[in-house]
Amino acid sequence: MSDIEKSYSPGLATDIEKPIANPGIEPHRIRMTDKSEKHARTAEKQIAVMFGVSVVGAIIAIWGFFAFPIVDGDLAATRNNSLWMGLGMALSMFGIGFGAVHWAKTLMPDNEVSEMRHQARSSDETRAQALEIVKLADGESGFSRRKLIRRSMYGALAFFPIPAIIIFGDLGPVVGDTLKHTMWKPGTRLTKDPTGIPIKASDVTIGSVFHVIPEGLSEMEEHKLEEKAKAAVLLVRVNPSDLNEDPAKADWSYQGIVAYSKICTHVGCPVALYEQHTHHLLCPCHQSTFDLANHCEVVFGPASRPLPQLPIAVDAEGYLIAQSDFLEPVGPSFWDIRK
Amino acid sequence: MTSTTETSATDAKPGFAGGAANYLDERLSVSAVLKGFGRKVFPDHWSFMLGEVALYSFVILVLSGTFLTFFYQPSMAEVHYDGSYAPLKGAQMSIAYASSLDISFDIRGGLIMRQVHHWAALLFVAAAGLHMLRVFFTGAFRKPRELNWVVGFLLFLMGMGAGFTGYSLPDDLLSGNGLRIIDGMIKGIPVIGTAFSSGFFGGEFPGTEVVARLYSLHIMILPALIIVLIGVHLMMVIIHKHTHYSGPGRTDDNVVGYPLMPVYVAKAGGFFFLVFGVVAAIAATFTINPIWNYGPYDPSPVSAGTQPDWYIGWLDGALRLAPSGWDISIFDYVIPMGVMVPLIVSLLFLALVAAYPFIENWVTKDKREHHVLDRPRNAPTRTAIGAAGVTFYAVLWAGASTDLIATNFQMSLNQVLVAMQIMLLIGPGIAYFVTKRACIALQNKDREVVLHGRETGRVVRLPHGEYIEVHETVDKYELWKLIDYKDYQPVLARPDANGKIGLGNRLRSAVSKIYFEDRIAPVSKAEYELAHADHAPEAVTEKPKRKQKSINA
Ligand code: HEM
Ligand code: FES
């Protein structure tokens, strides 16, 4: 058992006598370069060549920078620039790296040596001295003795960081009911994403899919993405007989045209894939699948709420419009979603 | 005291290096530093280079990242793109995305630096992860290095954080989608979720703030923390001195290896350049994160089959494999378990990883310092636990590709998902069992070699007609490697002073049984001598194994 081990409890360790004593480090194997000066000279030259190659690599990288100036619209120039600078840099690094390692392996001594360790634990004497200092400081300051100071200091130390937390209060506005409303209002036209062209009911043939945004969104200057992240809708027309509609929501669709939120109720990716023959909507992020013919119920995947439906109608000119906003929050579930 | 300067002045001309050294030493005592560190011994083994790779990739990240900061602009204000990349000309996008495109197409060297940066990031986390596995499977986390395990663990977390924040900076379609997922997860946290989301995004998702905030995290806060932690990590390596594998001459009292100067400096310094060279070569030839193909972030479109950077995969997989329909309602409030289950499971997993050294020490109660590493086979239960953990992680990671697996192998998504869920539950158990058996088999084989020598495959016929396989004794250096390991026994729960057996005691006794019940003890002196007594004369070179066992079919 070694010295470091001796001073501590071995716990559940067994103490089995070793068959032989530790034989000590194996004898050093002599290399060619140790034996012959000729081999050592060869190694020296090889190392010099590697360092020389490194210089060549650096020159290639510099050449790559100047040889391929940026040409508007010319991707080949960019690609060559990147390729030659990268390869040149790689070569210059490899030259130094291989050179240094080869040097160490051939010419520097390769016999392993041993160095003693010391226990992490300080000596008893040092520990006693450290303890003395702590006691002295305690006595001099009266830290243990003067309870009033100590406790009030704890109080102060507990309170002083609180402003440092409060100061971040304006990182974001207080969440009002913004999560529960979108841009859709009674009469808002359904328009194509991203052009903003209104959609006529007659344009929507059976089986077709439209990616929809509310009218006005495409011209917005501010908060466009925030609104889009809530208001995006998928519009599909199916054979009305294929639709299993909730009688209470029967007038939310128009001749088999239904509009559902495109924001996945799992964690919010756009549910952008429609499978025509099954009427399934698929979210590419974690494969939640919603059955469009069945109120967009979840049929597969980690989402747990159906996609909210946007009640739609047709205006006097034949354009599709929203009857109202969504009647429930879109997107991922959260704590007070039902409030 | 004037003599010091005089001697150096009267010595042969010191030359520039000598002069500089003298100048520095008279002001900074560099000689003392060199004397202390110059010949420090570092053991050499390929597996000790994994941490170095992580360190060097971090250096590469800082170098390439600093270049990027000169050109990247963390603003979400909208502009119309007017750079060299024709397909996106005129498109509306954030300044962050436009400047990332400019780095790629309008700044010479920009693309290669972006590629170097991204590849180095992937390598950084990978190397740190493998390094962590090395430390785990060799028991390098045992006393006195438990705290350094925790520091390393934090570094790994920071690395993932730095990677994710960096991935989000270009504000392209994929990175925005990643943030959207984070937003959905944050919102799902009970009570505080929506407020946190608002605080993170500065209002509603995606807002106009988040990229700038991620930028300060990515280039200031996380790198600063990483640098500090790396400093602490390496300081501890110096204080503890590096571990070494068991072998002749290696003990818990010494460290065997090469001196820092010159061998180790040359090897490690050269190795830095090799790592940099590999990253540069890969970056030059393989495109990673071609943001120009994805387009600017827009909450509406997505492309199917996209994957996050590899180290985020296990969390994405956890989201996919979570059971659906477990949402909890409390009065009118909702806890979306589709988000909370993966969150809790992954946090628990991480907590177990961080706590492992303390758990194992609670079992063994071994208070000694350990500087000789275990060969993984010689700690079968730990190795098996590690294998179970790796399997758990790997299944979650593969879970992030359920869709790709389904399309490639023509299976239904549902089959793949259920298969993965089952694997997640039973896979770690299988891995545990198989690994433990494999370790024990290897240990038994080692015992055979110690007691009876190595099989040579040569069969000879003895004068009286019996066939035996010739066994060769191993030399003492090799032998030492096979016998030098620590061994533990399970402990029985003993009543305390009041005659009671506490719950903790009972638990520990049960766990120690799991750990050490089927242990294979190292060969003892008595066994060794017994085995070698029967055939003393031939023992030196060739000697038959015990008869029953030695006849080869
Ligand atoms: C600590 C480890 C680090 C990791 C894991 C990491 C990772 C990443 C990743 C994955 C990206 C995305 C790049 C791309 O799209 O190709 C990125 C971008 C960036 N990083 Fe880092 N990084 C680290 C450290 C740093 C440091 C130290 C700096 C600067 C001092 C930095 C500055 C940047 C900048 C400016 C970008 C945006 C570049 C762009 O894509 O245009 N990073 N980082
Ligand atoms: S976001 Fe749609 S399945 Fe996860």
CA–CA separation, B421 and A300 (whole Å)? 14
Ligand 2 contacts CB of residue A58 (under 6 A): no
Pick the ligand that lies closest to the CA of residue A303.
2
Torsion sign across C-alpha atoms A284, A286, A287, A292: negative
The residue type at A254: Y
Residues B239-262: pLDDT tens digits? 999 999 999 999 999 999 999 999
Ligand 1 contacts CB of residue B452 (under 6 A): no
Token pair 């907590």 in the structure block, residue:
B351
The nearest alpha carbon in chain A to B205 belongs to A226
Mutate to test the pocket of ligand 1, among B168, B169, B286 (most ligand atoms within 8 A of CB): B169
> Closest ligand 1 atom, CA of B167?
12
Q: Residue B408 to residues B393, B411, B416, B549: CA-CA distances in angstroms?
A: 22, 8, 11, 49
Is residue B144 reached through a cis peptide bond, with omega within 30 degrees of 0 on the bond before it?
Answer: yes
Looking at the domain assignment, is residue B198 inside a domain? no
pLDDT value of residue B534: 64
Give B166 Cα–ligand 1 centroid separation in angstroms: 5
CA–CA separation, B438 and B435 (whole Å)? 5
Contact A289, A298 (CB under 8 A): yes
CA–CA separation, A258 and A199 (whole Å)? 13
CA–CA separation, A234 and A282 (whole Å)? 12
Q: Residue A226 to residues A284, B202, B205, B311, B344: CA-CA distances in angstroms?
A: 21, 11, 6, 29, 29
Rounded to two decimals, the pTM is 0.92
Contact A242, A181 (CB under 8 A): no
Closest Cα partner for B242 from B370, B382, B55? B370
pLDDT value of residue A283: 93
Q: Take residue B215 and report the two structure tokens written for it.
A: 């930028």
The residue type at B16: F
Closest Cα partner for A33 from A119, A104, A83, A114? A104
Give A269 Cα–ligand 2 centroid separation in angstroms: 6
Closest Cα partner for B84 from B292, B362, B357, B343? B292
Distance from CA of A151 to the nearest CA of B (A): 31
Give B176 Cα–ligand 2 centroid separation in angstroms: 14
Bridge partners, A10 (sequence order): none
Report phi then psi at A299, rounded to 5. -105, -15
Q: Please tell me what DSSP assigns to residue B322.
A: S
Whether residue B256 and residue A25 make contact (CB cut-off 8 A), yes or no, is yes
Q: Residue A262 to residues A82, A202, A211: CA-CA distances in angstroms?
A: 39, 22, 8
Residues 6+ apart with CB under 8 A from A229: A263, A268, A331, B180, B204, B205, B206, B299
Residues B4-16: pLDDT tens digits? 444 444 456 778 9
Give A306 Cα–ligand 2 centroid separation in angstroms: 12
Bridge partners, A94 (sequence order): none
| SS3 at position A268 | coil
Domain boundary assignment for chain A: 29-113+121-169, 190-322
* B29 alpha-carbon distance from chain centroid: 37
Residues 6+ apart with CB under 8 A from B63: none
Question: CB count, 10 Å around CB of B361?
Answer: 16
CA–CA separation, A50 and A108 (whole Å)? 17
Give A301 Cα–ligand 2 centroid separation in angstroms: 8
Q: From atom 43 of ligand 1, which residue's Cα is the shortest distance away?
A: B166
The residue type at A180: K
- Name residues of chain A where pLDDT drops below 70: 1-6
Token pair 């945004």 in the structure block, residue:
A213
H-helix or E-strand spanning residue B1:
none
Quote the crossing angle between the two packed helices B173-188 and B313-321, to the nearest 10°: 50
Torsion sign across C-alpha atoms B197, B201, B202, B203: negative
Residues A35-64: pLDDT tens digits? 999 999 999 999 999 999 999 999 999 999
Mutate to test the pocket of ligand 1, among B61, B125, B215 (most ligand atoms within 8 A of CB): B61
H-helix or E-strand spanning residue A73:
none
Helices (H), B400-475: 402-408, 413-452
> Closest ligand 2 atom, CA of A302?
3
The CATH code that applies to domain A190-322 is: 2.102.10.10
| Chain B hits for A339, Cβ within 8 Å | 332-333
| SS3 at position B254 | strand
The nearest alpha carbon in chain B to A192 belongs to B300
CA–CA separation, B195 and B199 (whole Å)? 6
* A38 alpha-carbon distance from chain centroid: 56
CA–CA separation, B210 and B75 (whole Å)? 9
The residue type at B28: L
Per-residue pLDDT of chain B (553 residues; tens, 9 = 90+): 344 444 444 456 778 999 999 999 999 999 999 998 999 999 999 999 999 999 999 999 999 999 999 999 999 999 999 999 999 999 999 999 999 999 999 999 999 999 999 999 999 999 999 999 999 999 999 999 999 999 999 999 999 999 999 999 999 999 999 999 999 999 999 999 999 999 999 999 999 999 999 999 999 999 999 999 999 999 999 999 999 999 999 999 999 999 999 999 999 999 999 999 999 999 999 999 999 999 999 999 877 667 789 999 999 999 999 988 889 999 899 999 999 999 999 999 999 999 999 999 999 999 999 999 999 999 999 999 999 999 999 999 999 999 889 989 999 989 999 999 999 999 999 999 999 999 999 999 999 999 999 888 888 888 888 888 888 888 999 999 999 999 999 988 888 788 888 898 899 999 999 999 999 999 999 999 998 886 544 444 444 433 333 333 2
Whether residue B365 and residue A3 make contact (CB cut-off 8 A), yes or no, is no
Closest Cα partner for B374 from B528, B519, B239? B519
| SS3 at position A274 | strand
Ligand 1 contacts CB of residue B169 (under 6 A): yes
Q: From atom 29 of ligand 1, which residue's Cα is the shortest distance away?
A: B65
Q: Take residue A187 and report the two structure tokens written for it.
A: 């009469």
Q: Please tell me what DSSP assigns to residue B375.
A: P
CA–CA separation, A265 and A332 (whole Å)? 4
Looking at the domain assignment, is residue B23 inside a domain? yes
Whether residue B300 and residue A25 make contact (CB cut-off 8 A), yes or no, is no
Whether residue B241 and residue A262 make contact (CB cut-off 8 A), yes or no, is no
pLDDT value of residue A164: 96
pLDDT value of residue B323: 86
CA–CA separation, B88 and B101 (whole Å)? 10
Report phi then psi at B552, rounded to 5. -90, 130
CA–CA separation, A28 and A160 (whole Å)? 63
Looking at the domain assignment, is residue B14 inside a domain? yes
Q: Which domain holds residue B31?
A: 2-35
| SS3 at position B87 | helix
* Number of domains making up chain B: 2
The nearest alpha carbon in chain B to A212 belongs to B300
Q: From atom 4 of ligand 2, which residue's Cα is the shortest distance away?
A: A286
Contact A280, A291 (CB under 8 A): yes
Closest Cα partner for A232 from A268, A280, A200, A206? A268
Ligand 2 contacts CB of residue A267 (under 6 A): yes
Mutate to test the interface with B, among A8, A84, A89 (most CBs of B within 10 A): A89
> Closest ligand 2 atom, CA of A283?
2
Whether residue A173 and residue B203 make contact (CB cut-off 8 A), yes or no, is yes
Ligand 1 contacts CB of residue B123 (under 6 A): no
Torsion sign across C-alpha atoms B180, B183, B184, B185: positive
Closest Cα partner for A264 from B420, B302, B208? B302
Q: From atom 7 of ligand 1, which residue's Cα is the shortest distance away?
A: B163
Report phi then psi at A116, rounded to 5. -75, 150
CA–CA separation, B212 and B171 (whole Å)? 11
Residues B466-504: pLDDT tens digits? 888 888 888 999 999 999 999 999 988 888 788 888 898
Q: Which of B271, B325, B483 sits opposite A18 (nearest CB)?
A: B483
